[in-house]
């Protein structure tokens, strides 16, 4: 389906209201979400549900996060216009598109080749020239572009990956879910200081597990 301008405006008003009711009140983040057409990152069958605050299926058995979780994680990152951000788990590209409206540069890694191809096409269609998306093993980060000011991981690890922490600049922030894949996980924020790492628990969440290697998808 194709949404009309009026339908999109009405849907986005409902979504922003829902986000505010869940504590997402940062004007910069709400503006970034409002300017990013979530329906564009969904298959046609789910586009009419783009403005619901729920996760939705995307290709390769993955999901697009619910907007309130995108808002929560983006807020926890404390992104500024000077930040170079690494996202591990690009999915359909939606989170990277939101970050692109807040950060200086966004580098995103996706282990599923079809998803990475689709995400790149969507990012290019939206003329978000500060985003780079590659197919790769997210657990290894993007060493050629390190260090990063911010790192966002959208898959759950049992422990924060040391390789990614090593690619985080001193003074930087990493946000990721931590915990067993079949249990409720904890979203944590790690601040890297000269003295070491500071950890802060933020919320209970549920994400797919962080897996190594590039996925073997049908059609590759």
Catalytic residue among 65, 68, 129, 191: 65
- For the chain, strand residue ranges (E) read 56-57, 63-64, 84-88, 105-110, 131-135, 148-153, 168-178, 185-193, 196-205
Rounded Cα–Cα distance for residues 28 and 84 (Å): 17
Contact 56, 42 (CB under 8 A): yes
**Across-strand partners of 189?**
175, 200
65 a catalytic residue: yes
Q: What backbone phi and psi angles, to 5 degrees, belong to 150?
A: -140, 145
Helix (H, G, I), strand (E, B) or coil at 175: strand
Pairing label, strands 56-57, 185-193: unpaired
- Identify which of 104, 66, 72 has the alpha carbon closest to the alpha carbon of residue 86: 104
Structure tokens at 198: 């500071």
Contact 107, 87 (CB under 8 A): yes
As annotated, the active-site residues are: 65
């Amino acid at each position: 389906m194709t949404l009309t301008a009026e339908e999109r405006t009405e849907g986005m008003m409902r979504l922003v209201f829902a986000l505010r009711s869940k504590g997402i009140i940062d004007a910069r983040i709400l503006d970034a979400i409002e300017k990013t057409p979530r329906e564009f990152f969904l298959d046609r069958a789910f586009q009419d549900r783009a403005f619901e605050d729920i996760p939705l299926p995307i290709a390769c058995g993955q999901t697009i996060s619910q907007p309130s979780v995108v808002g929560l994680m983006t807020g926890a990152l404390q992104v500024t216009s000077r930040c170079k951000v690494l996202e591990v788990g690009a999915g359909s590209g939606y989170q990277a598109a939101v970050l692109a409206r807040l950060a200086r540069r966004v580098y995103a890694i996706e282990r599923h080749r079809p998803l990475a191809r689709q995400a790149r096409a969507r990012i290019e269609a939206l003329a978000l020239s500060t985003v780079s998306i590659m197919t790769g093993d997210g657990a290894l980060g993007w060493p050629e572009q390190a260090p990063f000011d911010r790192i966002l991981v959208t898959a759950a690890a049992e422990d924060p990956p040391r390789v990614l922490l090593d690619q985080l600049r001193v003074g930087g922030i990493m946000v990721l879910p931590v915990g067993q894949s079949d249990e409720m996980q904890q979203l944590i924020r790690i601040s890297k200081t000269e003295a070491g790492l500071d950890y802060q628990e933020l919320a209970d969440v549920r994400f797919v597990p962080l897996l190594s290697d590039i996925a073997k998808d049908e059609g590759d």
